């Protein structure tokens, strides 16, 4: 209505509309002013919570929305359907310290057929896989140069042997000569002694001249001296002869060994089975040239076996001689013991040999695979987590641990210890009841957060 003050009061300075008096037409008197003599009445000031409350609530809503929209900013996040993950729960229980190893049956002993002398293969007398006897010829080689060399050596050695034998004969002749001389001297002494005894009687009877008797005495003394000198020479010669004969005997033995070795090198051209067994890995064909030291095949024992296994290099420091492996063949249980560790690592594994402890399983064959349980230590109570592919992706140094609501998992540094096929020992970083992603981390190894989404077929 025109003429009204914004406060709702009439303006005293305005004139009332003509023809309207007291709300009616007809020139009525103006309405008297209110008792406050024309001043506006002040309104009461509302409290602060009423004035600023709506703004604060709006700010909270805005900040919450911003945080929700900015959630994950600065934290790399990967979203994956929950049904594509495998979860494991941290528990405390009995931890069996063992590893599952797939072993292979192998011969207990293996002998290699090696060429001591190179040559051309002229005959192959056995087939691969055949059962052979000890000493049985298997391969025959030909080496013309070796045969000529051996023949030359035999001739040279034979000449040296003949020279030694000649020297021995000379020494024997010298010994016989001294022996003969001593016999002659002994005979002369005996004759002279007899003559002296006879002539002594004749001399006493003046039957012979004293001069003759003296001559016989001089001859006797000469023969005694000659005997002593001959004996001394014989003894010296005998001592020298003994030394020479000993040296000649050694030289003769050495020469005979040489000729035996030379002949053995020819015999080595025939490769024979070193023991009874099964011939395997035979690698020879007629006409092939084989160098010295070449392996031509193997002979494996048939009646005794062992187990060989490839073990992950992770366990190289934990495998020790004498550890026990348990396994079953058919419905019977058996044991084997680690007897040799090959420390060379190839393709991430190393080799161990195991011998059967007790009776061997019946009916096993070379190459047969057997699943074994290799015990590394005794059972003990420990905090543990189900084993899974995540270990290979992280090396046991970290894992994705689920939040209590199960909607996401955060990367966390942890420390894991021993492993067996079922569980991994938790050293630190996890508590009982926590859940961990134990499936492979391929595709999200570098993120910090994994959000679990519902799969498409879930409501």
What is the predicted pLDDT for the residue at 340? 95
- Lowest mean pLDDT: which of 79-93, 225-239, 278-292, 383-397? 225-239
Which of 278, 298, 318 is where one domain is finished? 298
CATH number, domain with residue 412: 2.40.420.20
Q: Does residue 444 share a domain with residue 427?
A: yes
Confidence of residue 234 (pLDDT cuts 50, 70, 90): confident
Kindly tell me if the per-residue pLDDT of 7 is higher than 70: no
- Looking at 267, 288, 312, the residue that finishes a domain is 267
Count of domains observed in the chain: 4
Record the tokens describing residue 229, joined without a space. 């000198």
The single residue listed with the structure tokens 């709506």 is: 54
In this prediction, residue 78 carries a pLDDT of: 93
Q: Which of 14-28, 174-188, 338-352, 430-444 has the lowest mean pLDDT?
A: 14-28
Contact 385, 438 (CB under 8 A): yes
Q: Is residue 410 scored above 60 in pLDDT?
A: yes
> Given CA atoms 234, 239, 242, 244 in this order, what sign does their dihedral have?
negative
pLDDT, residue 328, reads 93
Among residues 433, 447, 354, the alpha carbon closest in space to that of 394 is found at 447
Q: Within this chain, do residues 262 and 274 fall inside the same structural domain, yes or no?
A: no
How does pLDDT run across 26-50, given as a tens digit for each residue?
A: 444 454 555 444 445 555 556 655 6
Contact 139, 121 (CB under 8 A): yes
- Establish if 14 belongs to a structural domain: no
Q: How far is CA 111 from CA 118, 134, 138, 143, 280, in A?
A: 19, 11, 14, 24, 10
Task: Examine the domain organization and report whether 196 and 330 are in the same domain.
Answer: no
Q: State yes or no: pLDDT of 459 exceeds 80.
A: no
In a domain, 158, yes or no: yes
Order of strands across the sheet that contains 270-272: 270-272, 137-142, 119-124, 289-290
Average pLDDT, the chain: 83
Model pLDDT, residue 454: 82
Q: What is the 3-state secondary structure (H, E, C) of 190-254?
A: HHHHHHHHHHHHHHHCCCCCHHHHHHHHHHHHHHHHHHHHHHHHHHHHHHHHHHHHHHHHHHHHH
- Is the pTM higher than 0.85? The answer reads no
What are the start-end ranges of the E strands in 377-446? Answer: 380-386, 398-402, 408-413, 415-419, 423-428, 435-437
The answer to whether residue 62 is domain-embedded is: no
What proportion of the chain, given as a percentage, has pLDDT over 70?
Answer: 83
Tens digits of residue pLDDT in 419-451: 888 999 999 999 999 999 999 999 898 999 999
237 with 273, same domain: the answer is: no
Q: Is the residue at 458 inside a domain?
A: no
251 and 157 fall within a common domain: yes
CATH code, domain with 274: 2.40.50.100
155-159, 173-177, 258-262, 305-309 — which one is most confidently predicted on average? 305-309
Q: Per the domain annotation, does 9 fall within a domain? A: no
Is 43 within a domain?
no
Residue that the structure tokens 């016999």 belong to: 183
CA distance 27 to 429: 97
The whole-number average pLDDT for the span 8-26 is: 42
- Token readout for 82 is 């929950």
49-63, 349-363, 388-402: least confident range: 49-63
Distance CA 407, CA 138 (A): 72
- Does residue 125 contact residue 138 with C-beta atoms inside 8 Å? yes
Q: Tell me, what DSSP letter sits at residue 1? A: -
Domain that holds residue 431: 77-95+380-453
Do both 289 and 203 map to the same domain?
Answer: no
Give yes or no: residues 254 and 195 share one domain. yes
- Average the pLDDT over 126-130 and give the result: 90
Per-residue pLDDT reduced to its tens digit, 59-112: 665 655 555 444 445 579 999 999 999 999 999 999 988 999 999 999 998 899
* Contact status, residue 419 vs residue 99, Cβ threshold 8 Å: yes
Listed residue (449, 455, 452) closest to 76, CA to CA:
449
In a domain, 117, yes or no: yes
* 116 in Cβ contact with 265 (< 8 Å): yes
CATH of the domain at 317: 2.40.30.170
Same domain, 351 and 392: no
Q: 411 pairs with which residues across the strands?
A: 400
pLDDT for res 239: 83
- Tell me the two tokens of residue 306: 């062992």
Mean pLDDT of 202-223: 87
Does residue 302 contact residue 273 with C-beta atoms inside 8 Å? no
Same domain (yes/no): 252, 309 = no
Q: What torsion, rounded to 10 degrees, do the Cα atoms 386, 389, 390, 392 define?
A: 120
Q: Is the pLDDT of residue 24 over 50?
A: no
Half-sphere exposure of 259 (CA within 13 A, CB side): 15
List residues bridging with 402 in a β-sheet. Answer: 409
In-domain check, residue 419: yes
Examine the domain organization and report whether 176 and 227 are in the same domain. yes
Q: What tokens does 170 get? A: 């000379």
Contacts with 336 (C-beta within 8 Å, 6 or more apart), sequence order: 103, 307, 324, 325, 327, 354, 355, 356, 357, 372
CA distance 169 to 164: 9
Are residues 179 and 216 both part of a single domain?
yes
Residues 328 and 408 in one domain: no
d(CA 353, CA 341): 7
């Amino acid at each position: 209505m025109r003429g009204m003050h914004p406060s709702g009061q009439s303006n005293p300075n305005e004139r009332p509309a003509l023809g309207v008096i007291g709300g009616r037409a007809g020139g009525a008197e103006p309405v008297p002013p209110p008792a406050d003599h024309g001043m506006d009445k002040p309104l009461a000031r509302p409290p602060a919570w009423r004035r600023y409350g709506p703004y604060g609530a709006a700010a909270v809503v805005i900040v919450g929305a911003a945080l929700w929209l900015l959630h994950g900013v600065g934290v790399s996040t990967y979203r994956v359907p929950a049904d594509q993950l495998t979860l494991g729960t941290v528990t405390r229980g009995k931890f069996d310290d063992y590893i599952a190893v797939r072993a292979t049956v192998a011969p207990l002993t293996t002998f290699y057929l090696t060429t001591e002398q190179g040559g051309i293969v002229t005959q192959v007398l056995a087939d691969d896989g055949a059962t052979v006897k000890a000493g049985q010829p298997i391969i025959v080689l030909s080496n013309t140069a070796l045969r000529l060399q051996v023949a030359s050596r035999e001739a040279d050695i034979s000449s040296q042997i003949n020279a030694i034998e000649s020297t021995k004969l000379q020494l024997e002749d010298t010994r016989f000569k001294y022996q003969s001389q001593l016999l002659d001297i002994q005979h002369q002494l005996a004759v002279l002694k007899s003559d002296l005894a006879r002539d002594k009687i004749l001399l006493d009877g003046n039957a012979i001249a004293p001069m003759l008797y003296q001559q016989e005495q001089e001859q006797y003394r000469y023969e005694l001296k000659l005997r002593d000198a001959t004996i001394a020479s014989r003894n010296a010669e005998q001592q020298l002869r003994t030394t020479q004969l000993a040296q000649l005997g050694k030289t003769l033995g050495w020469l005979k060994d040489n000729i035996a070795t030379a002949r053995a090198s020819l015999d080595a051209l025939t490769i024979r089975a070193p023991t009874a067994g099964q011939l395997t890995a035979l690698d020879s064909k007629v006409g092939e040239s084989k160098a010295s030291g070449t392996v031509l095949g193997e002979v494996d024992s048939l009646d005794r076996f062992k187990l060989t296994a490839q073990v992950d290099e992770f366990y190289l420091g934990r495998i020790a001689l004498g550890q026990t492996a348990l396994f079953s063949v058919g419905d019977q249980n058996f044991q084997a013991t680690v007897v040799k560790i090959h420390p060379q690592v190839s393709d991430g594994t190393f080799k161990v040999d195991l011998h059967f402890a007790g009776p061997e399983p019946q009916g096993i064959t070379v190459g047969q695979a057997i699943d074994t349980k290799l015990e590394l230590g005794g059972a003990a109570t420990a905090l543990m987590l189900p084993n899974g592919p995540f270990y290979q992706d992280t090396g046991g140094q970290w894992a994705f641990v689920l939040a209590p609501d199960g909607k996401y998992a955060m990367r966390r540094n942890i420390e894991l210890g021993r492993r067996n096929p079922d569980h991994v020992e938790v050293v630190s970083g996890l508590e009982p009841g926590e859940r961990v992603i134990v499936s492979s981390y391929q595709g999200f190894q570098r993120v910090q957060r994994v959000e679990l989404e519902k799969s498409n077929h879930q409501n």
